[in-house]
Amino acid sequence: MQERCSLLEEENRRLCDGFVKGVRHEEDDLVRLQLEALLAEKSRLANENANLTRENQCLHQLVEYHQLTSQDLSASYEHLISGMCLDFSSPPPPIPEEEDTDIDSNEALKTPRIDLFGFLSTSLDECNGEEH
Q: Which whole-number Å values give the CA distances from 75 to 5, 21, 61, 72, 79, in the listed order? A: 59, 79, 21, 5, 6
Residue ranges of domains in the chain: 1-71
If one compares 63 and 96, the residue with the highest pLDDT of the two is 63
- Closest among 8, 16, 3, 6 to 38, alpha carbons compared: 8
Reported pTM: 0.39
Count CB neighbours of 37 within 10 A.
10
pLDDT tens digits, 61-88: 999 988 888 877 776 667 666 666 656 6
